[in-house]
Amino acid sequence: METIYSLVTKPINQNVAIIRISGPETFLSTSKILDESLLDANQIKLFKIHDNDKFVDEVLVSKFVKPNSFTGEDVIEIYSHGNMFVVEQILNLIEAQGVRKSEPGEFMKQAYMNGKIDFSQATAINTLILSENKTLSLKASENINLKQSSFINGAIVSIGEIVSRIQISIDHPEDLELQEYSSEMFVKQLVDFKTKLEATIGDSIRLQKASKGIVMTLVGAPNVGKSSLLNALLQEDRAIVSDVEGTTRDVVESSIQLNDIKVTIQDTAGIRTTTDKIEALGIEKTKQAIEKSDIIILLFDSTVDYEQQLKNYAKEIDMSDSRIIKIFTKSDLSTVDGEISISTKEGNITSLLKSVEDFIKIKLNMSNFDNAFLITANQIASFKNILESVKTSISHFENKITDDIILMELESSLIELGTLIGKKIDKEYIETLFAGFCIGK
């Protein structure tokens, strides 16, 4: 394994930068830059780094001796001041000692190769770093703590037991001990597993959608209060607010978090009949925004005749669209009983937020992700393959298909499960499953 280095914080000016060196030559290489022999394992100490006689920086250095490090290799971490001019000097000194700059993900690769993490944990770490969604981040943290790996390893043991029992019954049909194991027992185990797979896949698909966020579009006539509502939702002046009709001629996007779901809000041009070509273009963009929306907030001015507004909107919008939430603005001027009424002037948008939260929770079904631990599309796809294989195996058992065909199906499930955590499951591995059973008593 090679010795590698990298800046592990962002390459921008900041308070502190962290540089990691990992591999068999770590201590030899860094000894030419600083006297790491003065450091005990798991200790942090202050050092001055020089380039020949030129002072570079005063840094903190920590030392980890294999296998007690993230990568399982000897590791030195340098905590320098975050000015990139200083950081580049330190990086150049490290590279001059023959240490190679790491490829993306190579520290995690070292950790995986040294058995410090499995592939599921590596995926979880990457997701945790990149995710902007709280719920997905929490699920990734659970997987770092082996939630997904524990489920998969348990499934491998469970299916592996069925595989081994079938294989032994093929190889040793005379063994009376095997008679207590029936196809009915196997089917029950597989049906239970199928139920768990379906729950996991369903919740994980909803989690994936929630992690990407939803799009909510503000739609209404000019001067109905769309931009004022956007600013109220954001609690800042993001959109231009004016009494002049047609002020917003393009789609303005911003984001908020509601119940840990990212909501991208689109403020659009006013819906109305117009001969102005530029304004007509804005209205066309509004229609395009509506097509891509998960929620449509349709604004009615409570000071204007409702039926007339409804008639005007119906010319441009399908009023039966289930994504529409109707709200009445300017409630400080005229309340409308029985409807969702808001006043951005008074900062009263509570009823709208409650309606949106209920819509997300109930209609979009974005809540309760208890069974979700698949955090990437590839993991979901793999579980779908496993589910189909389990269903086929159940059908084979019920239809008395030959044991060798059932074995092939179940072994494919084992291989797919192993792939998710980076465990090699082949004929040799499956053979080890048989070793725990007494044959020929």
pLDDT reading at 270 higher than 50: yes
Query: Which single residue is written with the structure tokens 């340098």?
Result: 78
- How many angstroms separate the Cα of 165 from the Cα of each of 16, 316, 336, 349, 385? 57, 65, 70, 63, 23
Whether 401 is covered by a domain: the verdict is no
pLDDT reading at 438 higher than 60: no
3-state helix, strand, coil in the chain (%, to 5): 45, 20, 35
Within 106-262, residue ranges assigned H as helices are 106-113, 119-130, 134-144, 147-171, 183-212, 226-234
Which tens digit of pLDDT belongs to each residue from 348-375? 888 899 999 999 989 888 888 999 999 9
Whether 185 is covered by a domain: the verdict is no
Whether 339 is covered by a domain: the verdict is yes
Any idea what the CATH number is for the domain that residue 34 is in?
3.30.1360.120
Any idea what the CATH number is for the domain that residue 273 is in?
3.40.50.300
- Give the residue with greater pLDDT, 441 vs 388: 388
How buried is 80 (Cβ within 10 angstroms: 0-12 exposed, 13-18 middle, 19+ buried)? buried
Write out the two tokens for 68: 């007690």
Identify the band that residue 329 occupies on the pLDDT scale cut at 50, 70 and 90. confident
For residues 16 and 9, the answer to whether their CB atoms sit within 8 Å is yes
Whether 438 is covered by a domain: the verdict is no
Last residue of some domain: 92, 113, 134?
A: 113
- In angstroms, rounded to a whole number, what is the distance separating the alpha carbons of residues 218 and 270? 10
Last residue of some domain: 113, 128, 148?
A: 113
Q: Which pTM does this prediction carry?
A: 0.77
- In angstroms, rounded to a whole number, what is the distance separating the alpha carbons of residues 3 and 94? 11
Last residue of some domain: 325, 348, 371?
A: 348
Which tens digit of pLDDT belongs to each residue from 8-58? 999 999 999 999 999 999 999 998 898 767 788 888 999 999 998 899 999
Whether 264 is covered by a domain: the verdict is yes
Whether 41 is covered by a domain: the verdict is yes
Predicted local confidence at residue 334, as pLDDT: 64
Identity at 90, one-letter amino acid code: I
Nearest by Cα to 289 from 235, 231, 242, 230: 230
Query: Which single residue is written with the structure tokens 């008639």?
Result: 311
Q: State the average pLDDT over residues 191-211.
A: 94
What domain range is 262 assigned to? 222-348
- In angstroms, rounded to a whole number, what is the distance separating the alpha carbons of residues 71 and 26? 12
The DSSP code sequence of 178-215 is: GGG--HHHHHHHHHHHHHHHHHHHHHHHHHHHHHH-EE
Predicted local confidence at residue 114, as pLDDT: 94
- In angstroms, rounded to a whole number, what is the distance separating the alpha carbons of residues 294 and 325? 11
Which tens digit of pLDDT belongs to each residue from 58-114? 999 999 999 999 999 999 999 999 999 999 999 999 999 999 999 999 999 999 999
For residues 111 and 117, the answer to whether their CB atoms sit within 8 Å is yes
Coil, strand or helix at 300: strand
What's the total number of domains in the chain? 2
Whether 261 is covered by a domain: the verdict is yes
Q: How confident is the prediction for the chain on average, in pLDDT?
A: 86
Whether 428 is covered by a domain: the verdict is no
